Amino acid sequence: MSARSILRAAFAASALIAVGVAPAAADPTGLWLDKDGWTIRIQACGPDLCAVVASVKPPLDPATGQPQTDKNNSDAAKRSRPLIGVEVLSGMRPNGARKWTGQLYDPDRGVTLGGNLLELDQDTIRIEGCLLMLCGGEDLHRLK
């Protein structure tokens, strides 16, 4: 076998290996923007992922002129706490390729429910949850 044949065989083998390698999973940690202009910060919390509200729009409640609060919380004692810093994802654990499963807190409804975080690509995630028979989700985009 000539040197040229060996080189071709090595190149062909390398190309086949490269095709078989799956792309690296996106890293969902970081700052993400939702459709309403809110941001959430996803971070490691021990072996799990969690997320807190990093900013809200508008930052002040139009009715009171005060910072937005968790006014819809089903726990009346938590309704006056500022939304910034409220945990909205907790106990998110890997559950398949590019999928995390755990708890979601929905500040619009004031409820916690089971849900998923799906890594669509390195700059897009989808948060999905179901309440009774109603399911929904939202795409978030990474802030650089």
The reported pTM is 0.79
In the numeric block, the tokens 């409820």 are attached to 111
Inform me whether the pLDDT recorded for 61 exceeds 80.
yes
Q: Show the domains of the chain with their CATH numbers.
A: 25-142 (2.40.128.520)
Label residues 58-82 b or e (16+ Cβ within 10 Å = b). Answer: eeeeeeeeeebbbeebeeeeeeeee
Q: How far apart are CA 1 and CA 3, in angstroms?
A: 7
What is the tens place of the pLDDT at every residue in 69-107? 999 999 999 999 999 999 999 999 999 999 999 999 999
Inform me whether the pLDDT recorded for 31 exceeds 80.
yes
Q: What percent of the chain has pLDDT over 90?
A: 76
